[in-house]
Amino acid sequence: MYKRIVVKLGTSILTGGSRYLDQARMVEITRQCAALYAQGQDVIVCTSGAVAAGRAHLNFPTLPATITSKQLFAAVGQLQLMRVWEHLFDIYSVRVGQILLTRGDVENRHRYLNARDAFNALLEQRIVPIVNENDAVATEEIRVGDNDNLSALVATLVSADLLILLTDQPGLFTADPRNHPDAQLIPEVRKIDGALKGLAGGSISGLGTGGMTTKLQAANTARHAGVDVVIAAGTEPNVILRVAAGEAVGTRFPALATRPESRKAWILAGPKPAGRLLIDEGASAAICFKGRSLLPAGIRKVEGNFLRGDTVLILDSARSELARGIVGYTSTELRKIAGYRSDDIAARLGYTYGDVAVHRNDMILLTD
């Protein structure tokens, strides 16, 4: 039985495709979450809908399509959204607490740990966290951008066992079912590659920010953090309870490995990559199959501008993502020592921070 479950609810599920919150649907979602709670399981709800609720509460005013307008709607709507959730969970005698996050709350290691402690404090007191992105203050630079990826970050942060992504589709299909009636549901995915990403479509409701593409991104993050992921239709009867019981509903993405230790989980979920390192085949084999650190000699190209201690993506010769890690040198320094032996670093730079570009303890693999 899954002990800790994150349930992500998109705007299309909470509104039923309309311009208003569908409280009848929200009651049903609450009932299922409360049933898991009653069984002793930890439940975290990652909710969308603040902007839509704000628009409705203000009677759909005509405002410029700007970030400031969205912040206004979110500031008004988040209060309305939380009132509904608090009322509905109160029906089942379940207490809730609000947590609003931005990417800045997980990029900084200290703030990441503080956020984790806040979640744990709520869960230890049997309080259900209701999570949303803090759209009222978030700018493009600090936004996660969609609640699919936010829910994956939360699942990693709280060491969840299961992430349920509820959407307006029954799961991932072999083609877009809106245009191809013969498309088949894919019951399980063990490898997320370019072909699979090509099957993902966008959001069509006009209210949300995510689509199947962002759900694949979220699933990829969470499964590398040791979390099982299921994409399923929010309208499916008892979908949350059935998925949590292990029933074959929707599309399942099994966890790839055991849960990484705390620092590597933060590298996966926290800092946004500031650049890329393209490496040769020998270096790829060394880090993927031998558990080695990345040496400057294996780097073929440095992309982006970053500082020592920033997070970067490590790509193979085909530009497939192999790993994510914290660099020991700046981008300028790495361009000077890329392709050279570690013995040559001091001569090339006039100083050295050590033999490795990315240490294996500061790296998490992204391969299947």
User: Residue ranges of the domains in the chain?
Assistant: 4-264, 273-365
101-110, 152-161, 215-224, 225-234: range with lowest mean pLDDT: 101-110
Handedness of CA 28, 29, 35, 38 (dihedral sign): negative
Average pLDDT over residues 289-296: 95
Mean pLDDT, rounded, of the chain: 90
Average pLDDT over residues 24-33: 97
Residues 267 and 312: their CA atoms lie apart, in Å, by 10
Give this prediction's pTM.
0.88
Q: For residue range 313-325, what is the model confidence (pLDDT) as tens digits?
A: 999 999 999 999 9
Average pLDDT over residues 114-118: 94
Q: Is the pLDDT of residue 64 over 60?
A: yes
For the beta sheet containing 96-101, the strands, ordered from the edge strand earlier in sequence to the opposite edge, are 96-101, 128-133, 42-47, 4-9, 162-167, 228-233, 251-253
Strand pairing report for 162-167 and 4-9 = parallel
Average pLDDT over residues 271-285: 94
Which one has a higher pLDDT value, 252 or 181? 252
Q: Is the pLDDT of residue 110 over 50?
A: yes
At residue 119, the pLDDT reads 97
Residues 283 and 52: their CA atoms lie apart, in Å, by 48
Handedness of CA 330, 294, 318, 221 (dihedral sign): negative
Which one has a higher pLDDT value, 86 or 192? 86
Backbone angles phi, psi at 67, to 5 degrees: -60, -40
40-54, 57-71, 241-255, 343-357: range with lowest mean pLDDT: 57-71
Architecture of the domain made up of 273-365: Roll (2.30)
Confidence of residue 144 (pLDDT cuts 50, 70, 90): low
Strongest mean pLDDT among 64-68, 145-149, 177-181, 358-362: 358-362
Which one has a higher pLDDT value, 138 or 276? 276
Beta-carbon contacts of 220 under 8 Å, excluding residues fewer than 6 positions away, are: 192, 253, 366
Strand pairing report for 228-233 and 251-253 = antiparallel
Q: How many CB atoms lie within 10 A of CB 181?
A: 7
Q: Is the pLDDT of residue 212 over 90?
A: no
Q: Is the pLDDT of residue 208 over 80?
A: no
Beta-carbon contacts of 230 under 8 Å, excluding residues fewer than 6 positions away, are: 162, 163, 164, 165, 243, 249, 250, 251, 252, 253
Mapped to the 3 state alphabet, what secondary structure does the chain carry? Answer: CCCEEEEEECHHHHHCCCCCCCHHHHHHHHHHHHHHHHCCCEEEEEECCHHHHHHHHCCCCCCCCCHHHHHHHHHHHHHHHHHHHHHHHHHCCCCEEEEEECCHHHHCHHHHHHHHHHHHHHHHCCCEEEEEECCCCCCCCCCCCCHHHHHHHHHHHCCCCEEEEEECCCCCECCCCCCCCCCCECCECCCCCHHHHCCCCCCCCCCCCCCHHHHHHHHHHHHHCCCEEEEEECCCCCHHHHHHCCCCCCEEECCCCCCCCHHHHHHHHCCCCCEEEEECHHHHHHHHHCCCCECHHHEEEEECCCCCCCEEEEECCCCCEEEEEECCCCHHHHHHHCCCCHHHHHHHHCCCCCCCCECHHHEEECCC
Which one has a higher pLDDT value, 32 or 173? 32
Residues 101 and 223: their CA atoms lie apart, in Å, by 21
129-138, 245-254, 294-303, 330-339: range with lowest mean pLDDT: 129-138
Confidence of residue 201 (pLDDT cuts 50, 70, 90): low
CATH 3.40.1160.10 fits 4-264, yes or no: yes
